[in-house]
Amino acid sequence: MTRAIWPTRVRMGPIMSMYSPWTWGSGWRSCSQTGRLRDHDPYWRRAVSLSRRCEIANSIPDLDLFVSLHSNAAAGGGWSSAKGWSVYLYVPGGDRERAAQDILEQVRAAGIAVRSTPIVYDPELYVLKHTKAPAVLLENGFHTNREEAALLGQADYRQKLAVAEAKGILEYLGIPWVETEEETDYQAEARAAVDWLTENGIMQGNAEGDLMLDQPLTRRQFAVLEYRIAKLEGFV
């Protein structure tokens, strides 16, 4: 298990297409004190407007960085040869540029293929234009490329992406990356259970995408979970 401890705030927001069932990321989670950039959440099941995402980010005092997680798509539909990781910025320069360079450095160090021009400037992208904090939009390969779509479907590859990007974010924030003990059998089983429940729509989290994994379960919530499992198994 890898964990980073920091007093700063980072906003993670995956924005994936409805046809991307391998959506990955930490959901809309404000990382303060203890941040874990590995919690899986099928955010594609919910529809949260871009303006609302920006409102949430802008409501956090002293937000250090806004990170938007995506996969890319080539124009024209169907499979494409276009491939590679990239990061989008509103305009060149400033803290956003430094964050992008730090993340890019770690992604390359992890052996992840990047585009020939990995840093792209686009002043029309909504979340980059309307967030107050420095913002980066990460395109984690192309889901219209057969090879990269297969990679993105693999948990180990998604974990490699997440670790590389987390290291880059911490580098930007000036915080050391600390390796901790390996994941225990119970932690691995718990993570697998959360993945299965979210992938099958049984556990869906709140409106902001937070699964609230450390919160107590009410009897009503338990009843809803049992009902969803019964529906999944065809008993309802």
Q: Which residues contact 182 (CB under 8 A, 6 or more apart)?
A: 1
Is 61 contained in some domain? yes
Same domain, 160 and 211: no
Same domain, 165 and 75: yes
The answer to whether residues 197 and 166 belong to one domain is no
Q: Which helix (H) or strand (E) holds 126?
A: helix 126-130
Q: Are residues 38 and 138 in the same domain?
A: yes
pLDDT score at 165: 95
Query: Distance between CA 150 and CA 133 in Å, rounded?
Result: 33
pLDDT over 90 (residue 214):
no
Question: Is the pLDDT reported for residue 183 higher than 80?
Answer: no
Band the pLDDT of 11: cuts 50, 70, 90: low
Judge whether 11 and 67 are in contact, CB under 8 Å.
yes
* pLDDT tens track for 126-173: 999 999 999 999 999 999 999 999 999 888 899 899 999 999 999 999
Same domain flag for 34 and 121: yes
Integer Cα distance of 13 and 15 in angstroms: 6
Same domain, 163 and 91: yes
Whether 111 and 205 map to the same domain: the answer is no
Q: Look at residue 89 and tell me if it is in a domain.
A: yes
Residue 196 placed within a domain: yes
d(CA 160, CA 45): 24
Q: Are residues 96 and 190 in the same domain?
A: no
For residue 205, give the nearest of 191, 221, 220, 219 by alpha carbon: 221
pLDDT band at 12 (very low <50, low <70, confident <90, very high): low
Instruction: Flag the least confident range among 25-39, 91-105, 167-181, 214-228.
Output: 25-39
| Segment 67-109, tens digit of pLDDT | 999 999 998 888 999 999 999 999 999 999 999 999 999 999 9
**Domain endpoint, select from 132, 149, 173:** 173
Rounded-to-10 torsion of CA 141, 144, 148, 151: 110
Residues 141 and 207 in one domain: no
Residues 162 and 209 in one domain: no
| Overall domain count for the chain | 2
Whether residue 106 lies inside any domain: the answer is: yes
Write the CATH number for 11: 3.40.630.40
One domain for residues 126 and 202: no
- Give the structural domain span for 50: 4-173
pLDDT, the chain, mean: 80
Least confidently predicted of 14-23, 81-90, 156-165, 186-195:
14-23
Residues 169 and 189 in one domain: no
pLDDT at 32: 31
Quote the crossing angle between the two packed helices 94-109 and 155-173, to the nearest 10°.
140
Q: Going along 15-82, which residue ranges are E strands? A: 29-35, 65-72
Q: pTM higher than 0.75, yes or no?
A: no
Q: If pLDDT is split at 50, 70 and 90, which confidence band does 236 have?
A: confident
| Residue 100 included in any domain | yes
